[in-house]
Structure 1
């Protein structure tokens, strides 16, 4: 079992044991195995009783035998909430979204019969799977949906199988299972053998984890895939087999994928610079082709796709035709009539799938793992094809063997004994690689960074003649006039396992380190917007070198000192050897260009102007590298806000219909938080962004639209027209393909007729443009959404312009008592007395615009903080409202209500 990967498994399992089981998340996960099984057994017995009574079991089966995500709506419907869910929403609605009708009674009966047969006699598993899969009504019900209930009822016989354990077994056992139910008997048997084989190691490493071996292994799979997000060295690509998929049948039958631009000829021997020259020459010679650089560049990206990568073949933006694995390198087929640039592909999933991918305009699109997994669903994919050694790679297997010798014996004598080999196999190609990277960097970087002198370290240690040696080799570009071991740097680092390249400031960084930390703290919100296209990438590692725990870039940016000022991209030994010199140069260069803004944060007190000068909006030539926002479903939004998912769906529909909305309600109802959640949902899985502006009484047209700003020019004082926040936002939004959201907080605190000006017209007529006072033309891009918040208790300034009411959707946000209850289910605070008191006070207020909201009390330590909250936040508000009703106010002070709030 395992072959050469046994040591890797043991190493990872040891890391799992140290990092997960005894954390709060780990302990919660452990408890869920028994909880889910008990609920599953109870549900099955309930359905058996209903069958005996002759009742309809359709809804019971669909809700209580299939594993659901723990969303508010699922819990409200009484669904079986499971730690390994395959259903997030309403199963019927999800199936029926294709416009077809389904016999749900027959489906439910078939599921019940299948489960009953398997648990009654486990030896019937194979035949039961075959017969269930052959039914007309069973299409789409695969292992991830049906094995959780089998595992709940007979855990010793049936293992829970979804995409987490199958990814693990396929990686470690070099297997290639599929997720169809017909394959479950085999993978169930093989997983049990695998677990039995590693049980001694698991128990030796985790002797005190109170789980059955099967569950311990399942928990390890969850941690490896979902928590650690272990890199299996695979990338994912969407490639259309010709316009409207005209070549799909040929690609499917002959095992390849191809793209156009045949006039380029064979590009297999071209480096990036040579490709650009050939591209530009052909564009100039053949204007009739109407080629754009951004389109032609896809051919070069296509040629770099490696064996083992996955291909999603699509037809337009709504249909996936097949999923396959690349089995070889790029080749040019000169005898083909069309689409001569090709990759060999093994198509292992030919089931058509409906999708909704608005960003699939181009032939070739890089997919992030989340989108790919959403497309694949529970379909199991074959094991990665091993990377091949590239004859043009600057390093060889011997390079890594030498570094492995140093790792085993980090002594100067080890180095001196093989000094010539180290020089030829490691130091010379490493130094040449980094110097070649220097020639490809833009002037903005080379003007700041030392790229010629004292770039490289030594392997023997300067350890006062103790004879030690480093088991790695490194070099770096650092600030001119500085020192490589102290300054902010763009580094290249290599050991026996991998190659790393990125940004670093060490403990000796001094003033630069402190400046970096100060700028991250001072400009955090602005940096989130500016750096997201560069840093929000799952392939980037943040924090301590070599850590196998993936950190979110936003968390790192908020506290880089606590997590280490270290950012890198990593290539495994196999990945390094599969790349040519030019490919390595290109990847390292592009990474340094992305990370250079971090250098700027270390060298100036006012970094934002420098960042804005350096960073450019994403253009068409770079579209392949576009990073999409994190998925954030409406269900996730409902879970975060404690509001009903269907209500949120109606509100999102209103925002989409009008283009702009106002969330209005009394103070403390979470309007700004809800606006941020809506914005996050609207930009989910797109390239859009969110910005927030807060209005106030002094806010003007010049601040929001445009105005004259005195500036000192070459000839004296000048008065140019300067764009305001809205114009800047819209200009940036025009560079994006997907929705961009502007949040206007406290919209009614400004003089809206004066601030909005011509915007009043454009809000209603989104497809038109107008001339501003400066002479420039302006329109609101179609991908812009505006979400505003309005506190209805602000009596000093009111929204009086009725014309504005017609242009916005108005969404009322009342106090959310149920949300208060759900929030404190996790804290243990008993809320009923507090809810009753709030309802009583709001009844006395008697005006929905001035009610007390519940967000004042969404505090983890509410029991300890409630007195302070009431006296310093609630009482002043009530005093203002009941300023002429002293008797009422007297009864609402802390001394009088404290007793009412005790459980």
Structure 2
């Protein structure tokens, strides 16, 4: 994981011999314990005041945020920190930058306190907490260095102290590029912890001060940036093995590869890809067993081929809601009390992750037509068409769909036809029809010695009798290596019940295609 390890070892030796036991170094060492103890006292005072219904705005702004060590801040009782982010009057600063309105400070203070309480109570949901806070309209300016020192003070075993200095050092020695956004904190927290663990043996040198490993690393970062003024740009040029050579790209999955797997012509697949990239979202629709989900996954694999993107699959169902997909209130227990934070849904989480990737990222929505789409998508309807726009969501935060996001849905027409899809939603997707592709059956059973042509003839007769492309029997029912042993069960337990439902008012038609009638037409 670590890059430039010999360089780190040399630098750390220089640090040990030049800084910790100077007057400034000794003061620096003492500050870690002092600022944590003060932060814990501050937090308890604020929690008590909040639980009593008192206004906690000034307390939060002064005592939970890291302030510089000035006589004015000490006089006001501000939380003094070795890595301050508040170096001036925060209200004048934020209002002057047009980040905050004067009437919003009470809301901001409550949001900060809620963020800290949630992280402290449920640290393993750090990403959700950071995303939830960052989506608030008034969160601008409250970045990693502003909000995470209090987390480190309360739970140093869970949360690293990350500021501009430590962030630059972590980025350099792990070949990463984390920014100062709060939503980057969960990842840099993990990366930094792993880095410190990997470097621990090299840091345990003779003469090191009695500090936690993470505090020792933070002190080293301060020395490297503020005192030694290390030139990372020059070192990067000298060690020209930079980021691009270490990005993990997805393996190649060519047009030829996907064509061989799904048994469609390359020209057909190219049309699908063009449509998906043009509209940014597409739906594969067809009757049961036509391979919609399989093809969607293979297409997603091709779209992210040789890039740094990813794909995920979610499945809709009749109870799927806006709250599941976009965002919604999720009751949580905290200190014996119920809280009701707005939690991001699957799509918001997906887009937040996609923002940090350069190449295409694909969300597959399986069974997309089983949910109430107009209700589930909500304000997203507008953004599906206008990717360059940003809109406020119902929860108050702002959102846009990243340009590198593609959406591929699958739709079983036996459940619901295209005609029943909301018109506004319909025109935002490219619709790609899939009919039973018997070539897939032939290709699949080349090595099983099953007489697949007999089965295909029966399926063609059956689909002709059904006489509705939305309800045709597809081929995926029969894509099993043990078809010779399984076909009777498949037909009786899967095909016949489906036919009984379709021909419910014409059961004589079902009788024509019961296993007892068609088994002699298939060579087993």
TM-score interval for Structure 1 and Structure 2 normalised by the shorter chain = 0.5 to 0.7
Change (3 A) 1:294 1:788: farther
Correspondences of 1:825-840 after superposition (within 5 Å): 825-840=446-461
Helix, strand or coil: the match of 1:876?
Answer: helix
Deviation at 1:720, TM superposition (A): 1.1
Alignment-derived partner of residue 50 in structure 1: none
- The structural deviation recorded for 1:716 is 2.9
Trace 1:309-324 onto structure 2 (pairs within 5 A).
none
Q: Which residue of the partner structure matches residue 768 of structure 1?
A: 389
Q: 1:276 to 1:773 in 2, by over 3 A?
A: farther
Pick closer, same or farther for the CA change 1:277–1:815 going to 2, 3 Å: farther
Q: Which residue of 2 aligns with 1:819?
A: 440
Asked if the contact 2:282–2:430 (Cα under 8 Å) also holds between the matched residues in 1, the reply is yes
Q: Name the residue aligned to 2:282.
A: 661
The counterpart of 1:684, out of the listed 305, 314, 324, is 305
Deviations 1:288-344 (A, max 9, x none): xxxx9699959x98xxxxxxxxxxxxxxxxxxxxxxxxxxxxxxxxxxxxxxxxxxx
Q: Distance in 1 between matches of 2:5 and 2:392?
A: 52
Q: CA deviation at 1:679?
A: 0.6
SS of the equivalent of 1:794 reads coil
Alignment of 1:394-405 (within 5 A): none
TM-score, L = length of structure 1: 0.33
Q: Give me the whole-angstrom Cα distance separating, in 1, the residues matched to 2:431 and 2:451.
A: 34
Contact 2:369–2:416, Cα closer than 8 Å, also in 1: no
Q: Determine the structure 1 residue equivalent to 2:500.
A: 879
Match of 1:870 among 483, 491, 500: 491
CA distance in 2, matches of 1:647, 1:826: 26
Unaligned runs of 5+ in 1: 1-267, 279-291, 302-438, 453-620
Give the alignment partner of residue 403 of structure 2, picking from 782, 785, 795. 782
Match of 1:722 among 317, 320, 343: 343
Q: Deviations over 1:241-299 (max 9, x none)?
A: xxxxxxxxxxxxxxxxxxxxxxxxxxx99713557999xxxxxxxxxxxxx9699959x
Displacement after TM superposition at 1:813 (Å): 0.7
1:272 aligns with 2:4: no
Residues 1:692 and 1:269: Cα distance change in structure 2 (over 3 Å): closer
CA distance in 1, matches of 2:476, 2:390: 41
- Residues 776/871 of structure 1: CA separation in 2 closer, same or farther (3 Å cut): same
Hey, what does 1:791 align to over in structure 2? Answer: 412
Q: Number of residue pairs matched?
A: 316
CA shift in 2, pair 1:727/1:275, >3 Å: farther
Partner of 1:855: 476
Change beyond 3 A, Cα 1:656–1:792: same
Measured in 2, the distance between the counterparts of 1:830 and 1:673 equals: 24
State the match for 1:675 in structure 2.
296
1:733-755 CA-to-partner distances (Å, cap 9, x unmatched) read: 01111111100000000001110
Aligned residue in 1 for 2:427 = 806
* Cα drift, residue 711 of structure 1: 1.6
Asked if the contact 1:294/1:623 (under 8 Å) is kept, the reply is no
CA distance in 1, matches of 2:12, 2:464: 72
Deviation readout 1:820-874 (Å, 9 max, x if unpaired): 1122122221211111111111111111100000111111121111111111111
Counterpart-to-counterpart distance in 2, 1:894 and 1:841: 12
TM-score, structure 2 normalization: 0.56
Q: Secondary structure at the match of 1:825?
A: helix
Instruction: Work out the CA distance in 2 between the residues paired with 1:744 and 1:276.
Output: 50
- Structure having the higher strand fraction is 1
Per the alignment, do residues 665 and 297 of structure 1 end up closer, same or farther by CA in structure 2, a change over 3 Å counting?
same
1:797/1:749 CA distance change after superposition, 3 Å: farther
Equivalent residue for 1:890? 511
Counterpart Cα distance in 2 of 1:440 and 1:801? 48
Q: 1:630 matched to which residue of 2?
A: 251
Assess if the C-alpha contact under 8 Å between 1:748 and 1:799 holds in 2: no
Q: Secondary structure at the residue paired with 2:290?
A: coil
Equivalent residue number for residue 355 of structure 2 = 734
Counterpart CA distance in 2 for 1:730 and 1:440 is 26
1:749 to 370, 377, 393: 370
Q: CA RMSD in A?
A: 3.4
* Structure with greater helix share of residues: 2
Secondary structure of the structure 2 residue equivalent to 1:630 = coil
For the structure 1 residues 872 and 277, does the alpha-carbon distance in structure 2 shift closer, same or farther, using more than 3 Å as the test? Answer: farther
Q: Do the aligned residues in 2 keep the contact of 1:683 with 1:740 (CA within 8 Å)? A: yes
Task: Give, in whole Å, the separation in 2 of the partners of 1:634 and 1:778.
Answer: 34
**Structure 2 CA distance, aligned partners of 1:714 and 1:838?**
61
CA shift, 1:625, in A, is 3.0
